[in-house]
Amino acid sequence: MAVVAWAADPARSRGRHYAEPAPSGRSEYQRDRDRIVHSGAFRRLEYKTQVFLNHEGDWFRTRLTHSLEVAQIARSLARSLTLDEDLVEAICLAHDLGHTPFGHAGQDALNACMKDLGGFEHNLQSLRVVDELEDKYADFRGLNLTFETREGILKHCSRARAAELGALGERFLNGTQPGMEAQLANLADEIAYNNHDIDDGIRAGLISLDELEALPLVAEPLREVRRLHPQASDRQRRHEVIRRLITILVDDLRATTEARLATAAPDSPEAVRAQSRPMVAFSDAMRTQATELKRFLYTRVYRHHRVYRMTRKAQRVIRELFEALVDDPLLLPPEFQAVAAAGREAEGEAGVARAVADYIAGMTDRYALHVHGSLFNLRQVD
Q: What is the value of pTM for the model shown?
A: 0.95
- Round the CA-based radius of gyration of the chain to a whole number and report it: 22
pLDDT band at 2 (very low <50, low <70, confident <90, very high): low
> For position 104, what pLDDT does the model report?
87
Please give the share of the chain, as a percent, with pLDDT higher than 90.
Answer: 85
Helix 284-297 to helix 234-264 angle, to the nearest 10 degrees? 140
pLDDT band at 1 (very low <50, low <70, confident <90, very high): very low
Residues 274, 348: Cα–Cα separation, whole Å:
40
pLDDT tens per residue, range 287-328: 999 999 999 999 998 888 888 888 899 999 999 999 999 999
> For position 222, what pLDDT does the model report?
95
Nearest 5°: the CA angle 20, 23, 29 is: 95
What are the structural domains, with CATH classification, of the chain?
A: 26-306 (1.10.3210.10), 307-376 (no CATH)
Mean model confidence pLDDT for the chain: 93
Residues 339, 351: Cα–Cα separation, whole Å:
9
